[in-house]
Amino acid sequence: MAKTEVILIQNIVGLGGESDQVKVAAGYARNYLFPQGLAVPLTGANKRRIEALRQRRAEREANELNTMSELGKSLSKLICVVMAKTGEDGKMFGTVTSGMIADQLKTQFDVTLDKKKIHLDQPIRALGDHEIELRLHPDVVATLKVRVESTTPLPAPTAAPAGEAKKEEPPKTEKRGRRFEGAHGKPGTPYGKGETGEKKAHGPRFERQARPDKAHKPEQAPKAEKPPSAGKTPKAP
């Protein structure tokens, strides 16, 4: 197969960048590169264009580096939410891929990012937060937090059976007052309290109640002495 040498005008993935001199199949150059304006034949006249192409390439790469650096800083502060179907046990159906993440970045934040720049060591298979690597530029690597949530609401936790419920401890009884020995050595009620436990002003032993049938009688005035009878002289003492 005949080969021809060309000068690339634009960056072509897998082939080279601007101002690069590469050898390609003659038919590929004639039928694709030249009509699309991606390359020019290597001639003396075109060689003078190489320096201008190199300068343009340097400016473009510097601009890309600056843009990707700013994008990486912005993406590192975001949380990209991806919804996934799960079963009743919370396990996911399928996986979260780089293409799904790229779609959500476009939907949620209006960020267009090639899925090839989203690097996953392995597809995401679990709910929760995950940190993934973004290879935005040969000199720019950033991280993005991806939160995988379920589209299926998880069942509410069931209540524990009555038999397994924690037994309630009986309420602690209030300490009663000091007891004292009553008459004949028998235990009496607490001092200052009756049988119902209510505090009284005086205990039953120390309170004396007046009986209505023995009311206090007023003292009688002394009887006046009778005057001596006439004709009788009083006896000398």
Query: For 218-237, how does the pLDDT look when each residue is reduced to its tens digit (9 = 90+)?
Result: 555 555 555 555 444 545 44
3-48: what CATH class?
Answer: alpha beta
Give mean pLDDT, residues 34-58: 86
Domain map (residue ranges) of the chain:
3-48, 70-150
Asked if CATH classification 3.30.70.580 holds for the domain at 70-150, the reply, yes or no, is no
Query: For 136-162, how does the pLDDT look when each residue is reduced to its tens digit (9 = 90+)?
Result: 988 999 999 999 998 876 555 555 555
3-48 and 70-150 agree in CATH topology: no
CA distance 103 to 135: 17
Q: How would DSSP label each residue in 65-123? A: HHHHHHHHHHHTT-EEEEEE-B-TTS-BSS-B-HHHHHHHHHHHH-----GGGEE-SS-
Backbone angles phi, psi at 26, to 5 degrees: -60, -40
CA angle 80-82-115, nearest 5°?
A: 70
Query: CA 179 → CA 76, 131, 173, distances in Å?
Result: 76, 73, 16
DSSP state of 75: H
Q: What is the pLDDT of residue 215?
A: 47
